[in-house]
Amino acid sequence: MTQRLADNVVGPLITDELLAREPAALELLDQRLAPWLAESGVTRIKVWDEHGRVVYSDAKALIGQEFEQEEWARELLKGGPATATLESQTAEENKFEADAGELVEVYARSASQSGAPMIFETYSSGQRVRREQQAVLMAVIPPMLLSLAGLQLTQLVPAVRLARRIQIHQAARNAMLRCAIEASDQERRQIASELHDEVIQDLSGLAYALESEERRGPRDLQPVFTNARSMLQDNIRTLRAMTSELYPPDLEELGLKASLVRLEAPLIERGMQLTVEIPDKLVLGRDLALLLYRAAREALVNVAKHSAAQSVRIRVRQIGRRTQITISDDGVGFNPAEPPMEGHLGLRIVRDTIQQAGGTFEVRSAPGAGTSVTVTLGVIAQPPASLAPLQPDSVKPVR
């Protein structure tokens, strides 16, 4: 509209007489623009020459004033695109529009009767634009909401099927994890049982035989029998400690705290003190308790063998549906960035198991600053009856 007004109405009337500000030429342009100012919503009109001078305006006080041209105005005079803004007017040349609120300001390129480039500027009320925006918005909202509702309905059935499939896969995954844990514990029970009933019993009998030979044998061989018996008894104690570490306790009968306290024997032998902190009201399922116990057991094995610590602390916390266990010591520590030593697979196996169960496994340490192992687990979902794991065969308890 602004461009048509500039080309068809204003341009032909920008004559040399108008540029010279002759009253008759100004009056003629006022008459031609009066209907536009009265009916089209245009509230202000300005015509600028290429030097930034106002050659015409319905606000007579602006005619003849010069203002500094901005880069966009120079580009427009060279043939650049017209511009439009919707904002409050606060520039120096807008002193007559400063109190009008939000206005639509349009700049279009035009030319005088002699062909000189001109800038034609109009101001219109911003309320009209806002009303048009609201009308468009109100026209778009109903079909948009209906489309979204239709999209949600079409996605509902596939989403329900997908959710059920995810639940089934999650249950199967938890069942396999539970079977793996049970199989691992069964293997440990079997190994502990065989060590106790066969290897340790045979070595104990051999120790008694050596003690007998030590008493009855030749005097010159007594030191040999004594050293052999001492070495054998040390190995028997080591094997018995291994069976204690291998054999998982009955967590349902003893509880997690008592089971953890049973792990302190190897620490006491090395002069370490164990502190166990567990809340009185701790709600744990069997599988979750077993995973926490295994993490603590493997961490304490590493502490006993490598930390040279004076004290070890086990702390269990429960926040909402998540349970966290932290095993920390004041030992020599190590650099976690360095690759682990060969053969140290216990904690790595536990870490992989914890991560498979949807938990987190974190080790913090530094040389001379001790080590902290933190395991965080959520609730392990129970599988449906068709996916329940098989229970391991009963194994003769180790005494």
* pLDDT confidence tier of residue 342, bands split at 50, 70 and 90: low
Give a three-class secondary structure readout of 270-299. CCCEEEEECCCCCCCCHHHHHHHHHHHHHH
Q: Please report the pLDDT score of residue 344 as a whole number.
A: 54
CA distance 381 to 170: 8
The reported pLDDT for the residue numbered 326 is: 93
Average pLDDT over residues 331-343: 74
Percent of the chain with pLDDT over 70: 89
Reported as a single tens digit per residue, the pLDDT across 366-396 is 888 889 999 998 865 444 333 333 333 333 3
Q: What are phi and psi of 112, to 5 degrees?
A: -75, 175
Residues 282 and 317: their CA atoms lie apart, in Å, by 8
Contacts with 62 (C-beta within 8 Å, 6 or more apart), sequence order: 46, 54, 93, 96
* Residues 84-125: tens digit of each pLDDT: 888 877 777 777 777 777 788 888 888 888 888 888 888 887
Number of Cβ atoms within 10 Å of the Cβ of 257: 16
Question: If pLDDT is split at 50, 70 and 90, which confidence band does 250 have?
Answer: low
Q: What is the mean pLDDT of residues 76-91?
A: 81
**Domains in the chain: ranges and CATH:** 2-129 (3.30.450.20), 249-390 (3.30.565.10)
Mean pLDDT is lowest, of 89-93, 147-151, 311-315, for 89-93
What digits encode the pLDDT tens for the residues 1-18? 888 888 888 888 888 888
